[in-house]
Amino acid sequence: MNKQFDQIIVGGGVIGCSIAYQLVKRGYRVLIIERNQVGCEASSAAAGMLGAQGEFAEDSPLFQFAQESRALFQDLSEELREEAGIDIQYRHKGIMKLAFHQQQYNKLKTVAAFQREADNAAYLLSVEEARKMEPSLTDNLRAILYLPNDGQVSARHLTKAFCLAACHHGAILHEQEKVSELLMEAGKVYGVRTTEATYYAGQVIVATGAFGDELLPADYSTIPVKGECLLLELEQELFQSTLWMDGCYLVPKQGKKVIVGASSIPGKTDKHVHAASVQKLLARAQKMVPQLAEARIRNHWAGVRPGTADEMPYLGEIPDIAGLYAAKGHYRNGILLSPITGIYMADLLENKPISPLYNDCFRASRQANKLEKAGESK
């Protein structure tokens, strides 16, 4: 068995698999180690929204990063179909954000103004205009913000496609194998020890989502945020756009199905779905589309999002440990940011030029830098 690689990626979620895909395309020998099965955590639990506009109300490096990533999906869907034989179910039907009262409407106006300043399509619609596009919408609305350039994919299919495409190019995948220890000497990582064997590489990337924090210094831990979702099955397709209100979203999927999500419970990592959460989600879903009262509940599940203190992902080398990198903390945007994260991390690992703005915002050392600056200002 080959135990020597150029890079070892710890974590077989959408982020780890995207990085692996980019690296093997560049000719590197890559090992992916997943403690369970590929995509078994947040990467499969996600609804797959590509809310590069819907998730952001002000300018930031993360907003720019998200815009770049969303722009990759059209070509990526065709590329992964060729490379992996998988349809990631890319759907470009826009997102509608719904306002039921004046305060929500004021927020939508602010978002719309910002998006237009950023040269993005954003339209405030009346109820009549919105219902011409989506007749199943309730008429009990104040207004709707329509973002036509946002879309969605199947999170599960995207993760699997990245993984299969990476393996097609020569990546090695080990599932059901947990990394128990990083191998380090003289301030440099040189491999990992797992429950099965020891593997060697000059670069190790920890991409374990909301888990695996024990492999990194405490400063780079994530904040778990549990989310619960439902899958509804319909007699007929009721709407094509993703619908979104405060505390709930509806993502239409193939086969007359709709994902309803998601609760938000910080600090929890269990996978139980609570009756109160189901009740709230269903009530909000029916508030948007009354006919969903007749839908059948086909499934329910919970996932754990990897948050960070400043809601920015960790993308970069860990200070004082040469060759050790983090790629985690994407919170609600892991699916959306997965294509650009793979490219960004591959460039970083190759020591290619990267955006100084992104580096300053996402580098793992930013938390320590903030603490140092705070100390200097006292």
CATH number at residue 229: 3.30.9.10
Pair (326, 213) in one structural domain: yes
Domain of residue 263 covers: 224-305
Residue 79 belongs to a domain: no
Residue 88 belongs to a domain: no
Residue 174 belongs to a domain: yes
The domain boundary residue, chosen from 259, 275, 305: 305
Residue 1 belongs to a domain: no
**pLDDT for residue 57:** 84
CATH code for the domain in which residue 183 is found: 3.50.50.60
Pair (15, 59) in one structural domain: yes
Query: What CA–CA distance (Å, rounded) separates 271 from 135?
Result: 35
Pair (316, 369) in one structural domain: yes
Residue 128 belongs to a domain: yes
Pair (171, 267) in one structural domain: no
Pair (195, 212) in one structural domain: yes
C-alpha angle with apex 141: 138 to 142, nearest 5 degrees? 165
**pLDDT profile of the chain (378 residues), mean per 10:** 93 98 98 97 96 90 97 98 98 97 95 96 97 97 97 98 98 98 97 97 98 93 96 97 97 97 94 96 98 97 95 95 97 97 98 96 75 37
Residue 273 belongs to a domain: yes
The domain boundary residue, chosen from 262, 282, 305: 305
**pLDDT for residue 369:** 47
CA dihedral 217, 220, 222, 223 (to 10 degrees): 100
The total number of structural domains in the chain stands at 3
**pLDDT for residue 367:** 62
Query: Residues 203, 209, 214, 217: is their CA dihedral positive or negative?
Result: positive
Distance of CA 228 to the CA centre of its chain: 15
Pair (170, 299) in one structural domain: no
Pair (334, 363) in one structural domain: yes
**pLDDT for residue 370:** 46
Pair (173, 277) in one structural domain: no
**pLDDT for residue 56:** 85
Query: What CA–CA distance (Å, rounded) separates 179 from 217?
Result: 16
Residue 84 belongs to a domain: no
The domain boundary residue, chosen from 305, 327, 354: 305
**pLDDT for residue 377:** 36
